[in-house]
Amino acid sequence: MTESIKLSLFRNDGLATTAELLAHGVSRDELRRWARTGRITAIAHGVYSPTAWLGRVSDDPRRMHALAVGAVIRRNPGLVVSHESAAYLHGLDLLLPGGTSAPPLILTRSSQAPSRASVRGTLIRVATVPDDHVTELFGLPVTTVPRTVMDIARTTGFMEGVVAADCALRSHAAIKVEFAVVLESCPQWRGVVRARRVIGFADVRAESALESVARVRFAQFKIPAPALQANISGAQGFIGRADFCWHEYRTIAEADGALKYEDRARERARAQLARDEKFHDAGWGTIHFTWREIYHEPQPTIDRLRRAFARRRRTA
């Protein structure tokens, strides 16, 4: 493989089409030989990548997702990576179907572009995509973070939009006004009302997708909006920061993520129990919940929270 061919493959993030290779002087016989001997690998029909380079990036799921959507774009110029695919490349939190670690391939073509046939295994949406709604990641055209979040809020769901929006805010990838500016360019789009609700609900203080999901669940079950990341003190001074706090009910709720007790589990559990005791001594009730409890089976957690509110009212 000549140096010029190597450069042509890497110039577009490791992708090259049959037409591009032929244009660089590669014969069809050479192309077949490279594929047969494993020097190049077909990412999609007519789109190739150097096998050695693929081996170096194979443990990077975002890069591999970029290769998959990039191969679609190379065969269908004008498409833009969008929605959950764009969020994945941006590193935003996503709510994915159970058992999956990466989203499906999702791209958008401009509503002004000529109609295209569907691409197998890929969801292609149609919408206006202004130039200022597009950036570049992994050498690909990708919707910006504000546009990506608003697309998810419009088309996927309120909870999914809040998870993405909270993550964008706390990672400083976007600010709320940028979300609003995106919606100004598409006031008649389907789902805009829900997207505006997401903007109003999103909060930079939510520290994880689990906390974002919990906030949405509280709202769905008519639980009063809690204070987030509240500093709690007692007679001996500062005790700790609570994920969720209802001052009027003297109640604290803590989101126990999967990673919270992975290392030194017993020490962490003892520390949590000791902190809970200090909260109780200071007159606070506490409850804990996991991802499964608040996302998949929220009713028992909501019932425990309401009982905690009732107990604190009686105590008061």
pLDDT score recorded for residue 146: 98
pLDDT score recorded for residue 12: 66
Are 77 and 94 within one domain? yes
pLDDT score recorded for residue 314: 66
Nearest Cα neighbor of 10 from 59, 70, 83, 73 is 70
Three-class secondary structure of residue 6 per DSSP: helix
- Which CATH number do you get for residue 12? 1.10.10
Are 66 and 200 within one domain? yes
Are 157 and 93 within one domain? yes
pLDDT score recorded for residue 259: 45
Dihedral sign for Cα 74, 79, 84, 90, please. positive
Are 198 and 74 within one domain? yes
**CB-CB neighbours of 139 under 10 Å:** 15
Are 150 and 185 within one domain? yes
- State the total domains in the chain: 3
Of the candidates 175, 204, 233, which is a domain's last residue? Answer: 204
Low-confidence spans in the chain with pLDDT less than 50: 259-261
Dihedral angle of Cα 210, 213, 217, 219, to the nearest 10 degrees: 120
pLDDT score recorded for residue 13: 76
**pTM as predicted:** 0.89
Of the candidates 34, 57, 80, which is a domain's last residue? Answer: 57
pLDDT score recorded for residue 249: 95
Pair type for strands 251-255 and 285-289: parallel
Of the candidates 204, 220, 255, which is a domain's last residue? Answer: 204
Q: Looking at the chain, which runs of residues are DSSP E strands?
A: 16-17, 40-44, 47-50, 80-81, 105-110, 122-127, 134-137, 140-143, 227-234, 237-246, 251-255, 285-289
pLDDT score recorded for residue 258: 53
In tens, the pLDDT along 188-215 reads 899 999 999 999 999 999 999 999 999 9
Q: Residue 14 sits in which domain range?
A: 3-57
Per DSSP, the residues of 235-300 read TTEEEEEEEEEEGGGTEEEEE--TTTTSSSHHHHHHHHHHHHHHHHHTT-EEEEE-HIIIIISHHH
pLDDT score recorded for residue 141: 96
pLDDT score recorded for residue 201: 98
Q: Please measure the distance between the N-terminal and C-terminal CA atoms of the chain and give it in whole angstroms.
A: 79
pLDDT score recorded for residue 117: 54
Is 285 in contact with 306 (CB distance < 8 Å)? no
Three-class secondary structure of residue 229 per DSSP: strand
pLDDT score recorded for residue 273: 85
